Structure 1
Amino acid sequence: MTKHAQSTSPVLVDESDLSRAWGKAVLHVLDHPGPEISPLILSVSGFDEDGGVVETPAVRTALDTLLLAKKMRTVEDVAFTIFPQRIWQVAQGDRAALFKYYRDAFPRYQAMNPRDNRRGLYFERLVSYGRGPCDGNQLEWILSQFEGREGVRRSMFQASVFDPERDHVANAQLQFPCMQHVSFEPTEAGLVVNAFYATQQLFVKAYGNYLGIAQLGSFMAHEMKLKMSRMNVIVGVAKFQRISKSDRALVPLVAAARACFVQPTTATSAKSSQSIVEMAT
């Protein structure tokens, strides 16, 4: 068994801006020895009245520019694997239409990148798990129970991604799934969404992961007629991979991230782009 040398002291990031939260985690890795954080607890509380998560555009733009230069997927592409914000906009607030449109389109998403998407995508597992009530649509089950009766046990509001039957395999590398499950906690302040990752790639996927989870939470809050209050992400091992910490191409991104903490920044809520997902995260 391979043992990895790593710190086991938790790092807690609590911010009102998604870009600042991601930037703080990345800067922690860059400013300390080693390529990872274990564990990482990241919390974001900045959401507008429509449920959009607050971001600093300069950070997101710098990250997308670098990801494209490295021939990697953009933030929005990664976010789409967790919540298809563009399809939700097309559905115009009708969740039944959202689920139908996504299920109809999913074979096309798999065909676009069969190697990486053959095991599924996160939102697909949430709405088409393969077994269980509501034909495996875990989100519909949660919402129907929330809407249908008072005093529902709080543990009912959770949905699984990881499936031992499909995912306990002996492959040396497995891109999907890294996120294990999500839970939703209605509170007096609004809805809190919690996500749990065994591992996460900080540079390649984490920002898009956080955006997708925030959008998923906002969708559930909308359907529960609650404000979106907070997103918590717990990561067993957050890894800075597929780019060297000394790569000069990081300079503009690092500068944008550091600027968040030394001067006032212009923040805005997330807006969906017109990208189409091609790769699982």
Structure 2
Amino acid sequence: MIIQGENVTECWLKTLIAMADGPHWELSPFIAHFKTGSKTPVYADELESDLNVYLESVGQPHINTTAGTIFPQSLTGGSEDVFDRFDRIWKYIKKDKRNYKGHYFRRLVAYNEQNGRRVNQLKHIIETYNGIEGVRHPVHRRSALIALTFDPTVDHTAQPLRGFPCLQQICLVPKNDGEVTLNAIYAMQHLADRAYGNYVGLENLGHFMAGEMGLELVEVNCIASVLELGKMKKSVAKEFAEKYKQYV
């Protein structure tokens, strides 16, 4: 199934309505496609508030907390500033018990550090696309603009439940008119518990990378091998759907 939205909120809401109205608890495979340039819909604040109340009730992090694991929006500035500041605060972030299996942004900027080789994949993408004056010419090969979060040296385990990393990789796809698309691939995604925050985080990451590459982010595609409703009961999903379906 593919669901399209003019923005994050519309895309997530359409997906929730489809799942609430349908007979299934999961969709496989699933693609969420949303644009990034339109205005935030008038109902977004209320929907996000309702969703955060639900997330608290089931012991899940708020939308912006989940989004921050993909891109720490509070760290403003150019890429070197963001990378340096995140590196300095990482010792505090990793103490959070929710991050003991790993952290998405950390994987993007310090991949394979468990094995002693830290690779800043985002810096590599930026420098590959822009080039380095006197050192490297710009390279716009699209297969070079990929960053992984799944690390088989750490994540291939025999645990019956692991929970991280659901996000496997991101791909940036520049277009001829100075625009860029961000594609993300998830092995498993939970619609009610994490997807909204995932979408927000991916959009924030996309805007950051686009800005560093001199491009404009215009759309995000989030591909889930399996999309589950999550901890939300069908009855609660139906209540959300009934309250907000008038907007879509």
Query: For the residues of structure 1 that align with 2:190 and 2:232, how far apart are their CA atoms?
Result: 11
Query: For the residues of structure 1 that align with 2:46 and 2:242, how far apart are their CA atoms?
Result: 10
Letter of the aligned partner of 2:128 in structure 1?
A: Q
Q: Deviations over 1:170-226 (max 9, x none)?
A: 001111100100010111251110000011011100000000000000000111121
> Retained in 2: the 8 A contact 1:160–1:182?
yes
> Retained in 1: the 8 A contact 2:179–2:215?
yes
Match of 2:2?
12
Query: For the residues of structure 2 that align with 1:24 and 1:176, how far apart are their CA atoms?
Result: 26
1:256 Cα deviation after fit: 4.1
Q: Is the counterpart of residue 217 in structure 1 residue 217 in structure 2?
A: no
Residue in structure 2 matching 1:206, options 175, 185, 195: 195
Residues 70-219 of structure 1: pairs in structure 2 closer than 5 A: 70-88=58-76, 93-113=77-97, 116-130=98-112, 135-148=118-131, 149-187=137-175, 188=177, 190-219=179-208
Query: For the residues of structure 2 that align with 1:214 and 1:85, how far apart are their CA atoms?
Result: 10
Assess, with a 3 A threshold, how the Cα gap between structure 1 residues 257 and 106 changes in structure 2: closer, same or farther.
farther
| TM-score normalized by the length of structure 1 | 0.80
Query: For the residues of structure 2 that align with 1:189 and 1:84, how far apart are their CA atoms?
Result: 25
Gaps of 5+ in 1: 1-10, 262-281
3-state secondary structure, aligned to 2:14: helix
Residues 248-267 of structure 1: pairs in structure 2 closer than 5 A: 251=239, 253-261=240-248
Query: For the residues of structure 1 that align with 2:243 and 2:201, how far apart are their CA atoms?
Result: 22
Q: Deviations over 1:2-25 (max 9, x none)?
A: xxxxxxxxx111111211100111
Query: For the residues of structure 1 that align with 2:118 and 2:57, how far apart are their CA atoms?
Result: 41
Query: For the residues of structure 1 that align with 2:171 and 2:108, how far apart are their CA atoms?
Result: 11
1:61 Cα deviation after fit: 2.0
Q: Deviations over 1:43-92 (max 9, x none)?
A: 111325xxxx845223222211221233321100000000000123xxxx
1:241 Cα deviation after fit: 1.8
1:135 Cα deviation after fit: 4.1
3-state secondary structure, aligned to 1:169: coil
Q: How many residues align?
A: 238
Query: For the residues of structure 2 that align with 1:46 and 1:17, how far apart are their CA atoms?
Result: 6
Match of 1:33?
23
Query: For the residues of structure 1 that align with 2:54 and 2:16, how far apart are their CA atoms?
Result: 14
Runs of 4+ in structure 1 deviating by more than 3 angstroms, as ranges, are none
> Retained in 1: the 8 A contact 2:17–2:238?
no
Match of 2:235?
246
Assess, with a 3 A threshold, how the Cα gap between structure 1 residues 190 and 152 changes in structure 2: closer, same or farther.
closer
Match of 2:12?
22
> Retained in 1: the 8 A contact 2:31–2:223?
yes
* Superposed CA RMSD: 2.0
Gaps of 5+ in 2: 132-136
